[in-house]
Structure 1
């Protein structure tokens, strides 16, 4: 019987019980006394990585927008100030008096808005210069102890042509968060009345998530100890870290991109019908990536890291902050016959990892063992499937579109990012220049596209026969 079919007094009782249960499960709001607040596991991992080895810290989160029309800079600066007032994570600083970081929420302060006027350059096409400057600006690091952790750069190409680059420290924002930031910035610029600031804010989530992880970790860590037992690094250890070569323009990494049609990815997913169930685009592209990694390394025991989001609860959807967690996916290629069998194994691996997810720093400390300097714990290759980027509406009559650029920064030895673009996926491989030359990355991107088009392709070039992985 549904709740509607119950007598009135029973319906009221059920409603109260459900409301009580929801209130008990809700993220509690902490008092703001000015005292330091607990960091989430995600923030702690990012902060510690930056302290131990700045080059291994996650890159900044960025979003580029191309804006056409009469851009009002004072109005944009006011909107930026309103944005920081609205989201605590954008005005939080980090202190570590006891060796571990804590959050200190500060009053709103001015945020850098820099105008780079390129109209003095000759010629009508100033876009390449703006892209080059944006790539450099996107990689400029923030100081989480001093702040601010957000900046906006405006590149003026002409009287009615501007390019905007939003950059934010990863400790304060993730990919979904920067989309929220852009949407709120557009609405504030347009003079729209936004709803009240979200409650809870990120610091509330941080404390709640740490408590929840502590309850789950004892039950889930045994899975990971067994799953990652005997794990060996995918790539040989790099020599001691050196400064980027001047020949590489001071860069530490490079990227290469290819596009494949969505229909090809859907065909890969269809290949799993004989393997026991439906396969997501994530699993299909991950399987293709594993084929390339197998051909590259000759390894049959492969581990690829991915990211998940803790923003699954409804009250956290409008909250800006870092909700991502790193999850290792270990896939053995032994005994597989054909690509559908690989897809099925990937699907099972992903399901098991998500069912036993724990914060990545908890996983690493729970596994114990000796950490190798210069080797990322648990995995050196990563894969992320992003959402289809779209410019926020609004902007008070201005026309806005996503302004594409690649941030030349790598958090891992080799990373694959898949981004849907209309009827295609853009596949971008980013690798450390200490490990891969740009030409090698371009060749690997070509191999990846070939696997997506035909997973039973040439075994000499792909390291996979389509019949058996050897």
Structure 2
């Protein structure tokens, strides 16, 4: 019930209030996400889960990187208490104890009963004190890239690096099929609360498996009416970059370089629109792609989250979707901002799951070329400081994980009075030196955005 509805109810007579309450309850029940029975039988996967699973079967390097959470804590850490908190966290969120099985070539999810989750403790105090932090960083970055067994699980690991009696680094790694970037804050909050013995609300209801079945049904209903928009919008699209030839010795994996730009630089460009920071940064990225490719007709991917309903806010799972944006660059920056805003609005109004979009528009697929787009942009929230851990001082211990899903990706993250702009490129196309040059060029575009 919204605040306005509550106010209207309070002003009614008892009889009319009872009637309106009943009507609102019926309306909410009619639109609510149905709860599925948990019988142990396989349940339908969401489009997001299916896309990640199928990518892993065909091209493992196309799977989004694992989701990570790093927390540095100072104080008397109790490992047994932390282990119990981790087990309670997994019991609370079904997606963290879900396994996957193939039926007729498609994935289905099986929610397992809650059980203890192993916690690994690595004692680095045998090393010289000045080397311990660097070694913990090195080990955690390796752990971030480790593979998970989707059939047997578990799909998350928590490692504690002991740097001293009162210094520890907690590093949680989770497969992207079970947890996305928007869920990391939920995981961090719940883990801290469970460690501290704080009272939590009841477990989320619905859980992710309920959302999965509901979202697939909704996409099935919406797709026929929205596919004509995408067929027209993406007609005649050509890859931004030429296909990478498969040659011996070609670089594998990806690399990332980052640069920071002050908020006032971005805010100054916003006034020429007006526009949001995302629109400004995306427009600058499009200019960079134009200068790289020589093309003015460009398609980039925008990463969105499908957590638009209030009952989904406390749910841990994978809600991300990929949405193509096609923009024809005009001759000046204010006009580009207007075109980008129009493209974003049209894409979001017609959004459907990316795999349904790709299969629905058909067309010839080029081997080694990502469907619909090769470049993508992600706008993340400003990382919040870690919540209070009883008896401990905590701070964010961040790790960037390279995403090799695209030839070139831009991740924009607010950092106080600045934006961090990270470019991740496939080493088959860009060298680390190339990426360093590109971040400098992107910064130059923001300072002087001549199209």
Shift of 1:9: 4.3
In structure 1, what is the equivalent of residue 82 of structure 2?
76
Q: Which whole-Å CA distance do the structure 2 matches of 1:96 and 1:125 have between them?
A: 45
In structure 1, what is the equivalent of residue 353 of structure 2?
359
2:316 aligned residue (310, 317, 320): 320
Q: Indicate if the aligned counterparts of 1:139 and 1:409 stay in contact, CA closer than 8 A.
A: no
In structure 1, what is the equivalent of residue 35 of structure 2?
29
State the SS of the aligned residue for 1:429.
strand
Q: How much is the aligned-residue C-alpha RMSD, in angstroms?
A: 1.8
Q: 1:244 to 1:127 in 2, by over 3 A?
A: farther
In structure 2, what is the equivalent of residue 382 of structure 1?
376
Q: Which moved more, 1:72-81 or 1:10-19?
A: 10-19
Report the TM-score, using the length of structure 1 for normalisation: 0.91
Q: Indicate if the aligned counterparts of 2:410 and 2:422 stay in contact, CA closer than 8 A.
A: yes
In structure 2, what is the equivalent of residue 444 of structure 1?
438
Q: Indicate if the aligned counterparts of 1:66 and 1:162 stay in contact, CA closer than 8 A.
A: yes
Report the TM-score, using the length of structure 2 for normalisation: 0.95
Any residues of structure 2 matched to 1:195-210 within 5 Å, and which?
195-210=201-216
In structure 2, what is the equivalent of residue 158 of structure 1?
164
Q: Which whole-Å CA distance do the structure 2 matches of 1:57 and 1:437 have between them?
A: 21
Once the two structures are superposed, what CA deviation does each residue of 1:408-447 show, in whole Å capped at 9, x if it has no partner?
3422111110111111111100111111000100110111
In structure 2, what is the equivalent of residue 248 of structure 1?
none
Q: Which whole-Å CA distance do the structure 2 matches of 1:451 and 1:111 have between them?
A: 48
Q: Which whole-Å CA distance do the structure 2 matches of 1:112 and 1:253 have between them?
A: 31
In structure 1, what is the equivalent of residue 307 of structure 2?
311
Once the two structures are superposed, what CA deviation does each residue of 1:312-354 show, in whole Å capped at 9, x if it has no partner?
1111100111011110111111xx2311110010000000000
Query: 1:236 and 2:254 equivalent?
Result: no
Q: Indicate if the aligned counterparts of 2:423 and 2:439 stay in contact, CA closer than 8 A.
A: yes
Q: Which whole-Å CA distance do the structure 2 matches of 1:182 and 1:127 have between them?
A: 21
Q: 1:243 to 1:308 in 2, by over 3 A?
A: farther
State the SS of the aligned residue for 2:34.
coil
State the SS of the aligned residue for 2:192.
helix
2:419 aligned residue (409, 415, 425): 425
Q: 1:189 to 1:8 in 2, by over 3 A?
A: closer
In structure 1, what is the equivalent of residue 365 of structure 2?
371
Once the two structures are superposed, what CA deviation does each residue of 1:163-203 show, in whole Å capped at 9, x if it has no partner?
12111111101111121111111111111121211111000
Q: 1:43 to 1:241 in 2, by over 3 A?
A: farther
Shift of 1:113: 1.8
Q: Which moved more, 1:124-133 or 1:369-378?
A: 124-133
1:302 aligned residue (295, 298, 323): 298
Aligned residues: 445
In structure 2, what is the equivalent of residue 44 of structure 1?
50
Query: 1:86 and 2:92 equivalent?
Result: yes
Q: 1:153 to 1:243 in 2, by over 3 A?
A: farther
1:147 aligned residue (144, 150, 153): 153
Shift of 1:142: 0.9
Any residues of structure 2 matched to 1:182-261 within 5 Å, and which?
182-240=188-246, 252-261=253-262
Shift of 1:244: 7.8
Shift of 1:131: 1.6
Shift of 1:122: 2.0
Q: 1:102 to 1:424 in 2, by over 3 A?
A: same
Shift of 1:407: 1.3
Unaligned runs of 5+ in 2: 1-6
Q: Which moved more, 1:52-61 or 1:111-120?
A: 111-120
Q: Indicate if the aligned counterparts of 1:135 and 1:408 stay in contact, CA closer than 8 A.
A: no
Shift of 1:272: 0.6
Once the two structures are superposed, what CA deviation does each residue of 1:63-88 show, in whole Å capped at 9, x if it has no partner?
21111112111111111111111110
Shift of 1:394: 2.2
Query: 1:107 and 2:113 equivalent?
Result: yes
State the SS of the aligned residue for 2:272.
helix
In structure 2, what is the equivalent of residue 413 of structure 1?
407
Q: 1:21 to 1:167 in 2, by over 3 A?
A: same
In structure 2, what is the equivalent of residue 268 of structure 1?
269
